Amino acid sequence: MQNQAPTLGFIGLGVMGGPMCCNVVRKHPAPVHAFDITPAAIEEVRKVGGLAAASVVEVARAADIVFLSLPGGNQVREVCLGDGGLASVGKPGMVIVDLSTTSVAEARHVGEKLAEKHILFADAPVARTRQAARDGALSIMVGASDELFARIEPLLSYMGSDVTLCGGVGCGQVVKLINNTLVFEHVAALAEMMIVAERAGVSRDTLAGAVSKGSGDSFVLRNHGMKAMVPGVFPKKAFPSSYVLKDLGYAMELAESMGIEPRLPRSIEKYYRDAIAQGLGEKYFPTIIDVIGKS
């Protein structure tokens, strides 16, 4: 019986969680119980073979390993530690794998509180796009013990093409927050320089093409720049500026706790706040080029 596939749970079926859960359902040989506060999201997972759960409690009672994909630390804390949360009904030995992005301190706090209930915890935030979530090609950064990582890595591979153990609990969030902050900084720098070039007589398209052939080439240039900022096309249901501010806040909190003044994150934070103030807060975050272009 030790080789029997575990029953899984999945809580949070939003923009990223929905396609991640669908991949899990398709690839896992045992039942997957899914819950979201939006019935339509549950229905999408049910269509591919997932089992609809009526509540967090129902997932906790059915599953051996539960995945979370939630908006942020407040929601993770509530689902794990709140009244009727996983800690209150989960059986000893249950595993919770948080795919959300939270602060490092929150991840470690949740992990410690769950450990008191003999529930294992890993933080495993994800990177890349919604399409990568559909394709099962995410990058997943994991904070867990070596032993727990060995158990969950095959399951995470249902969702990710690159699964990296970064250290103990909280270290997945460390790497994810640094990754995101570098992207946010690069997008802001690229947006500024595109507007400079445009005003100096060089089109965005020409600039991007030329820079991509030199030492200024990058993932951000080829993806955020060429696909969104050059044509001015910002897809719906993509990572918005409101989420950028959340992650920047977590990253700055982490930097300060490590004795580093986060000067660069603070310098770009205003662009994303301005996007929200101008009614662009729910648009794909490279839309800050429009904010800069109006200055």
| 64 within 8 A of 8, measured Cβ to Cβ | yes
236 CB-side CA count, 13 A? 0
Grade residue 292 by pLDDT with cuts at 50, 70 and 90: very high
pLDDT for the residue 1 = 38
Percent of the chain predicted with pLDDT > 90: 96
pLDDT for the residue 44 = 96
| 28 within 8 A of 155, measured Cβ to Cβ | yes
Q: Which residues pair with 51 in a beta bridge?
A: 33
Burial class (CB in 10 A: 0-12, 13-18, 19+), 156: buried
pLDDT for the residue 166 = 98
Q: What is the CATH number of domain 174-293?
A: 1.10.1040.10
Rounded Cα distance between 37 and 133, Å, is 20
- Given the residues 47, 176, 283, 294, select the one marked as catalytic: 176
Q: Classify 217 as helix, strand or coil.
A: coil
Instruction: Examine domains 8-168 and 174-293 and report if their fold is the same.
Output: no
Q: Is the pLDDT of residue 277 over 70?
A: yes
Grade residue 3 by pLDDT with cuts at 50, 70 and 90: low
Here the tokens at position 2 are 């030790």
Neighbouring C-beta atoms of residue 154, cutoff 10 Å: 12
Rounded Cα distance between 263 and 277, Å, is 22
Assigned fold of 8-168: Rossmann fold (3.40.50)
pLDDT for the residue 237 = 82
Neighbouring C-beta atoms of residue 209, cutoff 10 Å: 13
Here the tokens at position 161 are 């093409």
Minimum mean pLDDT among 91-100, 169-178, 236-245, 247-256: which range?
A: 236-245
Pairing of β 8-11 and β 65-68: parallel
Residues 6+ apart with CB under 8 A from 273: 241, 245
User: Which of 8, 56, 52, 67 has its CA nearest to residue 32?
Assistant: 8
Element (H, E) at 32: strand 32-35
Average per-residue pLDDT in the chain? 96
- What does the pLDDT average to over 35-53? 97
Clarify whether 176 is annotated catalytic: yes
Rounded Cα distance between 71 and 247, Å, is 11
pLDDT for the residue 129 = 87
Name the amino acid, one letter, at 199.
R
Question: What does each C-alpha distance from 71 to 14, 88, 280 come to in angstroms?
Answer: 9, 21, 19
Residue keyed to tokens 């501010």: 245
User: pLDDT tens across 254-275, in order?
Assistant: 999 999 999 999 999 999 999 9
Rounded Cα distance between 122 and 104, Å, is 12
- What does the pLDDT average to over 243-251? 96
Cα–chain center distance at 8 = 20
User: pLDDT tens across 195-230, in order?
Assistant: 999 999 999 999 999 999 999 999 999 999 999 999
Q: Where are the domains of the chain?
A: 8-168, 174-293
Q: Classify 119 as helix, strand or coil.
A: coil
